[in-house]
Amino acid sequence: MKIGIINAGLLPDVGEGIDGSPVVAPINCPEGGEGPKIGVLPDAGPGYVLNADGTSCYGEEEGKYNALQTDFSAGNGKTDTPAFPAVGEPAFGTLDGATTNIFGPVAGLLRALDVVAPDYQKGSQDFTASWQANSGQYSPGFPAVNNDLSFITGETIGDVTGQAPKQEVLAGTASQDLQAYNVEGNPASPAWPKLTGGWLVATPTLGSLGTVDTGASAKKDVVSITREGTLSVYTTPAGACSPSSWPNFHHDIANSGDYTRDAVKPGVPQGAVVASRVLTWTAPGDDLMCGTATSYQIVTSASPITAQNFDSATPLSGAPAPAAAGTQQSYTVPASAQHYVAVRAIDEQGNIGLPASTEVNSAPALPTLGRCVKVAGNGAFTYKNCLIESSGNKGNYEWMPGPGPSPKFTAPIKQVALQTTGGKFVQCGASSLEGEWTGPKGASVSLSLKGCENIATQQTCQTNPTKAGEIATTQAIEGELGFIKGGSKPKVGLDLKAKSPSPVVVTFTCGGPTGEAWTVEGSAIGQITPANRMTTVDKLLFKANGAKQVPEHFEGGVKDTLLATITQGVSQKSEQAGLTLRGDRSTIPVTNGEKLEIKAKV
């Protein structure tokens, strides 16, 4: 259908034609009945509410669509009538908490002449308009006078006074004002308007910043930004969870323009913990920490549960119905549950929140290093790998987290290769890795590499200029256990990384003072075996495919690799690097000072 436009050439390339995206809301119209309706405003001309078939909600006269009201009686400071939608965005919302209105920036007839006539016209005015969507007539008290156009922006609607269910409409102007009007078309309170100090070029946004929204002190904020880049945040008396029927540009964070769309996910269940096989948490809302979610999903796994692998975990039945956000809730964990459980919330439109994961028992999170020791019939486990729990603690074995009195280990290396994505290649000969286990998850490691040279230039590489061909870590490297792959056949990795706060793993120079200076940062993950068995000898597999570490991250984790920065003269390049360590075979043997077990499943 064709939309009526007063001036088809208004502000070419900037504000001509339909410059505001259409919006949708359920409305009961005089013509077309009840259902989703489309609100549309041109750059300069009458506004429309249309049925799904493109006909006017308000019928037609003499073959022309009836549009939103333009005429109004002068008075109460309003003189420039009629007023037409002008270069702005439409929005649907409610001011009284019950009636649906359509909103938009409008300009009086005299103001429209400013575009074609010199200077400003005396008596010209700009407004924020609210129409009753089911009739197309101005809402009582509207349009409300502004000090300038709301140029290429729109309105937001929500409670900013603390008088819910009543709400207010907010609109920024091109002349330093951020307005808020109540259901009567008057300023929302003595706190409005706000002086922004510039031309507002974006629709204001309603929300909360830095608050726990279930708290009584959490308040709603209004955010605006000017053309000059000034970002302003105004705190209001309204609660953070008070209603906002159109809280931001095009209604929601999905920019749907759909009045009924809920694009905000439920929040994360807070404080999830298991004690005496009872999982407890603080309920999130259906919109982050506001409202009440529709349902919960609870799952279990032998491996840590993340948002990425939640759907592959085993579902548990009997989840309770969600309570209001901030309410304490609980769930009895069945005996069939594995080491980890997680819970997440879902809202009425199917939005899925992030999960909260915790362990069923108090043992360190898997994978974990420790000792399965024999005891006199009062242990928690039946067999010597400490995997099968004993009923009533009558087993012959007990799990002791972490190393014992001999935590040190050594690992001889036959060959080392460090290769970058740019083709740089450093190779070393017989070397060593030494360290000690510092707890159930970690280790302190040092590397001493010998016979190192740049393959391309055949120049020796060294950390200390007096020790040709020797590269050594100048500070301890941290090792951390994690899952490369969880499940019934887990793979465990050891992540070697610089000890915080320094990101540097090793530095060295190839070719003397004028050669290449290398700084290697980040971390490398290698597989460690065996799992779930007491042994004095583990095997480490650090390998790279070209310059890419295999693997590049732990399961469900972020990319975790080495980065080599190579400087020569004024040239400097940073490239991803891969590390390969080989023994007599593809793995290197790690000899522990005592028998230890890497526990990867329960």
What does the pLDDT look like over 482-492, one tens digit per residue? 999 988 889 99
- Does residue 245 fall inside a structural domain? no
What is the helix (H) or strand (E) element at residue 109, kind and residue range? helix 109-113
Distance CA 482, CA 476 (A): 19
Q: Is the pLDDT confidence value at 589 over 90?
A: yes
What's the rounded mean pLDDT across residues 445-455? 96
Do 382 and 313 have their domain in common?
no
Phi, psi of 294 (to 5 degrees): -95, -40
Band (363; pLDDT cuts 50, 70, 90): low
Do 508 and 526 have their domain in common?
yes
Residue 443's nearest CA partner among 592, 584, 560, 304 is 592
Do 454 and 307 have their domain in common?
no
Residue 171's nearest CA partner among 182, 155, 160, 159 is 155
- Does residue 162 fall inside a structural domain? yes
Do 380 and 354 have their domain in common?
no
Stretch among 214-218, 387-391, 407-411 having the lowest mean pLDDT: 387-391
Residue 277, classed as helix, strand or coil, is coil
Distance CA 599, CA 602 (A): 8
Do 152 and 227 have their domain in common?
yes
- Does residue 186 fall inside a structural domain? yes
Do 78 and 225 have their domain in common?
yes
pLDDT of amino acid 63: 87
Q: The tokens of 111 are what?
A: 């103001």
pLDDT of amino acid 361: 67
Q: Name the β-bridge partners of 535.
A: 596
- Does residue 56 fall inside a structural domain? no
Q: The tokens of 46 are what?
A: 């009458």
Do 442 and 565 have their domain in common?
yes
Query: Residue 503 is which amino acid?
Result: P
Residue 112, classed as helix, strand or coil, is helix
Query: Residue 311 is which amino acid?
Result: D
Q: The tokens of 517 are what?
A: 């200076």
- Does residue 41 fall inside a structural domain? no
Angle 410-416-422 from CA coordinates, rounded to 5°: 145
- Does residue 39 fall inside a structural domain? no
pLDDT of amino acid 390: 81
What single string gives the DSSP state of each residue in 152-204? T--EEEE--SS-TT--EEEEE-SSSEEEEE-TTSSBSSTT-SEE-SS-B-S--
What's the rounded mean pLDDT across residues 24-46? 95
Contacts with 376 (C-beta within 8 Å, 6 or more apart), sequence order: 396
Do 118 and 209 have their domain in common?
yes
**Which of 380, 401, 422 is the last residue in one of the domains?**
401
Q: The tokens of 203 are what?
A: 């629709």
Distance CA 66, CA 56 (A): 7
What is the helix (H) or strand (E) element at residue 363, kind and residue range? none
List the CATH number of the domain containing 71: 2.40.128.630
Cβ–Cβ under 8 Å, residues 452 and 470: yes
- Does residue 4 fall inside a structural domain? no
Residue 130's nearest CA partner among 180, 80, 205, 176 is 180
Do 326 and 418 have their domain in common?
no
* Tokens 């360190």 found at: 364
Cβ–Cβ under 8 Å, residues 351 and 270: no
Domain count, the chain: 4
pLDDT of amino acid 76: 86
Measured in whole angstroms, how far is the alpha carbon of residue 43 from the centre of its chain?
A: 36
Other residues' Cβ atoms within 10 Å of the Cβ of residue 565: 17
Contacts 24+ apart (CB under 8 A), 460-469: 460/510, 460/511, 461/426, 461/428, 461/508, 461/509, 461/510, 461/511, 461/518, 462/508, 462/509, 463/506, 463/507, 463/508, 463/509, 465/509, 465/512, 465/513, 469/428
Other residues' Cβ atoms within 10 Å of the Cβ of residue 9: 12
Checking DSSP bridges between strand 431-437 and strand 425-428, what pairing results, if any? Answer: unpaired
Do 144 and 275 have their domain in common?
no
**Which of 217, 239, 261 is the last residue in one of the domains?**
239
Percent of the chain with pLDDT over 90: 76
Q: The tokens of 36 are what?
A: 């989703």
Cβ–Cβ under 8 Å, residues 375 and 361: no
Do 350 and 467 have their domain in common?
no
What does the pLDDT look like over 526-584, one tens digit per residue? 999 999 999 999 999 999 998 999 999 998 888 889 999 999 999 999 999 999 999 99
pLDDT of amino acid 202: 94
What's the rounded mean pLDDT across residues 147-159? 93
What does the pLDDT look like over 454-473, one tens digit per residue? 999 999 999 999 999 999 99
Domain of residue 390: give its range. 368-401
pTM above 0.75, yes or no: no
- Does residue 195 fall inside a structural domain? yes
Distance CA 385, CA 377 (A): 16
Cβ–Cβ under 8 Å, residues 547 and 417: no
**Which of 336, 359, 382 is the last residue in one of the domains?**
359
Checking DSSP bridges between strand 83-85 and strand 101-108, what pairing results, if any? Answer: antiparallel
What's the rounded mean pLDDT across residues 170-189? 95
Cβ–Cβ under 8 Å, residues 169 and 155: yes
Query: Residue 169 is which amino acid?
Result: V
Distance CA 244, CA 180 (A): 13
Cβ–Cβ under 8 Å, residues 123 and 111: no
List the CATH number of the domain containing 346: 2.60.40
Angle 319-554-494 from CA coordinates, rounded to 5°: 125
What does the pLDDT look like over 13-27, one tens digit per residue? 666 678 889 999 999
What does the pLDDT look like over 52-78, one tens digit per residue? 999 999 999 988 999 999 999 888 889
What does the pLDDT look like over 370-391, one tens digit per residue? 999 998 888 888 888 888 888 7
Alpha-carbon distance values, 21 to 152, 199, 212, 219, 258 (Å):
11, 21, 33, 30, 11
Do 293 and 390 have their domain in common?
no
pLDDT of amino acid 135: 96
Sheet holding 194-195, edge to edge: 155-158, 168-172, 177-181, 194-195
Residue 566's nearest CA partner among 504, 507, 481, 497 is 507
